Structure 1
């Protein structure tokens, strides 16, 4: 079976991209493994192994929702970390009728991705964010860093490099 990033529903509120992806195309690291400043160089290396310096990265995520006509914003803590000059909002409605606001920001750098991963690992509250290129997505949340890639060989190499940190609770490229 061929796997493509385009098969994923990035804004599915019931299932993250990790669980929409075949096990052989995904891996997971726990944010708690990087709370300690001693492991931050490993986190930086992980991010830069996914997104080389001049990658064309797009950041996307849900930034808020509506309760009735009241708009509720999720705190992103992006100011001072990411340049937000290419911000675009999209409005989504789930199966139950809840309306969400999603944002997309183009031209994110790998250094921006690392800064947001570091901030998340160190306990800053963040909403779930995804950093996307045409063949890979890094999903970050308060608990996990999930990587999804179309190229199993490249993902296998990343898995080998960061093997001590790869979580194996759910099947992924390390366990298949």
Structure 2
């Protein structure tokens, strides 16, 4: 999870999603409705531009909780799409729920696995609290939005220029 720190977000404190932890110059948001009616090629284009590079792709998500010395697993469906082979867990205590939260990181996943997982979320599958990231971009996925974050505002500006009129501008100010 150390690689997430370069994006200046705190993923383990899931009070606020990553999008709201950075300035507008470092983020861009797409509503999942943009990919309805067979527009999955647009989704693949955006993901290819951001994640399909020779750099390592990692994923971090909430995989469960520990409360009263008992471990509870989240149903994530990650294993359906991503081959889990090189993973680690980080456990952090959260006062607000009086429990430990288990964050799992899977390293070095393939772009096609990422695309298949995000495509299934866009089509309606429930998503866990998850980010996918490489050297330049961090991607947060939910049932409603796909957020791209970078530490380099030029990379985000390039995305905004390339997909002008398609990305969500509601929180741009």
Q: Please give the TM-score of this superposition, normalised by the length of structure 2.
A: 0.88
- Paired residues of 2:28 and 2:147 also in contact (CA < 8 A): yes
- Paired residues of 1:62 and 1:129 also in contact (CA < 8 A): yes
2:110 aligned residue: 109
- Paired residues of 1:13 and 1:94 also in contact (CA < 8 A): no
Residue 55 of structure 2 is aligned to residue 55 of structure 1: yes
- Please state whether the residue corresponding to 2:115 is helix, strand or coil: helix
1:87 aligned residue: 87
* Cα distance between partner residues in 2 of 1:69 and 1:150: 38
Q: How far off its partner does 1:54 sit? A: 2.0
How many residues of Structure 1 are paired with residues of Structure 2 in the alignment? 168
- Paired residues of 2:84 and 2:106 also in contact (CA < 8 A): yes
Q: How far off its partner does 1:16 sit? A: 1.3
Q: How far off its partner does 1:111 sit? A: 1.6
- Paired residues of 2:30 and 2:147 also in contact (CA < 8 A): yes
- Paired residues of 1:5 and 1:136 also in contact (CA < 8 A): no
Q: How far off its partner does 1:52 sit? A: 2.6
Unaligned 5+ runs, structure 1: none
Residue 161 of structure 2 is aligned to residue 168 of structure 1: no
2:40 aligned residue: 40
* Cα distance between partner residues in 1 of 2:123 and 2:129: 15
User: What are the equivalent positions in structure 2 for 1:133-152 lying under 5 Å apart?
Assistant: 133-152=134-153
Q: How far off its partner does 1:79 sit? A: 2.3
Aligned-residue Cα RMSD (Å) equals 1.8
Deviations 1:17-56 (A, max 9, x none): 11110111101111222233x2100000000110134221
* Cα distance between partner residues in 1 of 2:118 and 2:91: 26
